[in-house]
């Protein structure tokens, strides 16, 4: 039997524990003031650690196989105080439950046939999705839509292999299995469907979810003040002394359904200060790693606009004029703001979201991993090889083997078969409690 806290370890209104394993419901009943004898219903119960009342909780029991893991399962909704969370953990330990590892619940669900391997991976992608669009793509995979599509292509390949192998086994018969089975047209349909699937899929990677936005420019143009204003709280040290920011300061912000990482940097100038000069080097290096640069200038540094555009090179950027409360700009900028009074900051945030959106791959249907892309491309290569042989009416035995290899790629995608190391590689990236 295993258990885990399924919500973050932090003070909150509610915390959720989940447990799984044969007989776990009967075992957990021992900690309740009144046993539960019905499943899939919510009951209010006092939970005890020995004779000590821990909390009054909502408790739900699930019986195998009608649960997320396919095993007997328990979910406990308690108050989110840190002392309550600690005491409830002690309750589970006292009853003989072991701590779950990362992704162990989803791994059990996969092993019990409750999820395909792709669906289990999509659960992790959904949890880690940092914007609504990517979450929607992950949800489709969690719901099984992608798995259904791949399963169907696999079944079609099996049907076509029957005709191809029939033409080999009964080659002396007056019957053309390939023609009668409409093999070529059906193979081309499978190929086109697979090509469409690959083209309409977004490959998940850390780079795609960063949305790093760098505030860049000369010193003392108000980058740190603007950084704090965009965040809505004081995160970076602010001073009118040039060179105050000597390192990269970053913080996450969620705005209009998009998660981004805002990075404040040292002002770019020549300096003899060793620490400040290292910060300047870091700022320059960060340009290559970010998705968007905000070039911040003011009325004293407007003459450096062209020079700093060259420093940014080919990186996407927005030119921003700060301190508009003091003087108006002489040049044209993408946005004019005042970090002091907040003028134009909302418009700047909207511009950032718009520009980040343009940098994304749009019109995608599914979110897939590199592993999936490799398998799909391998299957496509095998199908193309089979089509070539059948069209030339040669090597039908090899053409049948090509289709077997394609089907094998689909099976590995679904988790019907997989290398020994694969499950460990996948589930170690999951959250504890999932």
Residues placed in the known binding site for Mg(2+):
224, 245
- Three-state secondary structure call for residue 344: coil
Nearest Cα neighbor of 228 from 309, 90, 322 is 322
List residues forming the annotated binding site: 18, 75, 114, 220-225, 239-245, 264-267, 434
Longest dimension (CA), the chain: 93
Q: How far is it, in rounded angstroms, from Cα 70 to Cα 113?
A: 8
Residues facing 262 on adjacent strands: 213, 251
List residues forming the annotated binding site for GTP: 220-225, 239-245, 264-267
**Residue/partner pairs of 63-68 with CB below 8 Å, 24 or more apart:** 63/25, 63/39, 64/22, 65/112, 65/114, 66/39, 66/40, 67/20, 68/20, 68/105, 68/109, 68/114
**Quick one: DSSP state of residue 138?**
H
List residues forming the annotated binding site for K(+): 220, 239, 241, 244
Q: In 219-323, which ranges are E strands?
A: 249-255, 258-264, 292-297, 317-321
């Amino acid at each position: 039997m295993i258990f885990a806290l399924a919500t973050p370890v932090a003070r909150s209104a509610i915390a959720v524990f989940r447990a799984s394993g044969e007989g776990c419901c009967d075992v957990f009943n021992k900690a309740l003031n009144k046993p539960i004898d019905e499943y899939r219903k919510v009951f209010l119960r006092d939970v005890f650690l020995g004779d000590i009342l821990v909390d009054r909780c909502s408790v739900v029991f699930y019986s195998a196989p009608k649960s997320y893991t396919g095993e007997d399962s328990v979910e406990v909704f308690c108050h989110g105080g840190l002392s309550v969370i600690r005491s409830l953990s002690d309750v589970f330990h006292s009853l003989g439950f072991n701590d779950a590892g990362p992704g162990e619940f989803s791994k059990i669900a996969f092993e019990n046939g409750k999820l395909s391997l792709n669906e289990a991976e999509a659960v992790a992608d959904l949890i880690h999705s940092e914007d609504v669009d990517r979450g929607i793509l992950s949800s489709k995979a969690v719901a099984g839509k992608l798995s259904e599509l791949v399963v169907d292509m696999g079944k079609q390949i099996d049907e076509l292999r029957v005709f191809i192998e029939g033409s080999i086994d009964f080659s002396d018969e007056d019957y053309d299995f390939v023609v009668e089975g409409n093999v070529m047209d059906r193979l081309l349909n499978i190929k086109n469907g697979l090509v469409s699937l690959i083209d309409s899929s977004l490959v998940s990677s850390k780079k795609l979810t960063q949305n790093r936005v760098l505030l860049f420019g000369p010193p003392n143009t108000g980058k740190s003040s603007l950084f704090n204003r965009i965040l809505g709280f004081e995160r970076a040290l602010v001073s009118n002394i040039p060179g105050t920011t000597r390192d990269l300061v970053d913080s996450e912000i969620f705005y209009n359904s998009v998660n981004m990482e805002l990075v404040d940097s040292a002002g770019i100038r020549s300096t003899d200060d060793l620490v400040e000069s290292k910060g300047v080097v870091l700022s320059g290096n960060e340009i290559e790693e970010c998705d968007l640069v905000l070039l911040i200038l003011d009325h004293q540094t407007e003459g450096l606009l062209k020079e700093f555009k060259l420093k940014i090179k080919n990186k996407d950027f927005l030119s921003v004029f700060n301190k508009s409360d003091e003087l108006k700009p002489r040049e044209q900028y993408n946005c004019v703001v005042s970090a002091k009074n907040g003028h134009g900051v909302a418009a700047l945030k909207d511009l950032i979201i718009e520009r980040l959106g343009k940098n994304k791959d749009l019109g995608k249907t599914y979110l897939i991993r590199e592993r999936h892309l490799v398998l799909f491309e391998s299957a496509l290569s095998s199908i193309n090889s089979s089509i070539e042989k059948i069209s030339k009416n040669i090597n039908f035995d090899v053409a049948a083997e090509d289709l077997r290899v394609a089907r094998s790629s689909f099976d590995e995608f679904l988790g019907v078969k997989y290398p020994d190391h694969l499950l460990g590689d996948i589930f170690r990236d999951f959250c504890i409690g999932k």
